Amino acid sequence: MAKAIPRTGSRRNVRIGLRKSTRQISKGVIHVQASFNNTIVAVTDVRGRVISWSSAGTCGFTGTRRGTPFAAQNAASVAIRTGIDRGMQRAEVMIKGAGLGRDAALRAIRRSGILLTFVRDVTPMPHNGCRPPKKRRV
């Protein structure tokens, strides 16, 4: 009997690929989305590729406590920690939404030691909005 030829593509025998080494970034963008119920913080590089993210919900806050400034502060510090580990020194901040956590998240970002180049409010504003519902007849 002939000996079986091992397939090179079988996952059991051969390691397919190695993990990518973590990219070092010097400048990034921090996106803060603050709604009334939750605060989401995402750290990206300049091209928009997400490096890390966090929200008040993933930090362990549930229910109405997710919308609090303290929860937003925790979410911002958790998301930024990975960016600092990757070598991020400068960042731009984009804040969206009208929630309670927007100021607290910005305060946590300032305290982290990252130099902020600018802070921009990117909350979408309607230029006339949707058509209102018809008048109520009682």
**pLDDT tens digits along 60-79:** 999 999 999 999 999 999 99
Q: Among 109, 133, 136, which Cα is nearest to 32's?
A: 109
pTM: 0.78
What residues does 27 pair with on adjacent strands?
Answer: 90
At residue 9, the pLDDT reads: 57
Domain 27-113: CATH superfamily is Ribosomal protein S11/S14 (3.30.420.80)
pLDDT for 27: 93
pLDDT, residue 4, reads 67
Tell me how many degrees the CA angle 40-97-55 measures, rounded to the nearest 5. 10
* Phi, psi dihedral angles at 98 (to 5 degrees): -120, 25
The number of beta carbons lying within 10 Å of the beta carbon of residue 118 is 8
Residue 21 has pLDDT above 80, yes or no: no
Closest CA to 40 of 65, 68, 72: 72
Q: Where are the domains of the chain?
A: 27-113
* pLDDT in the model for residue 100: 92
Q: In which band, very low, low, confident or very high, does the pLDDT at 95 lie, cut at 50, 70 and 90?
A: very high
- At 7, the pLDDT band (50, 70, 90 cuts) reads low
Whether the CB-CB separation of 30 and 80 falls below 8 Å is answered with yes
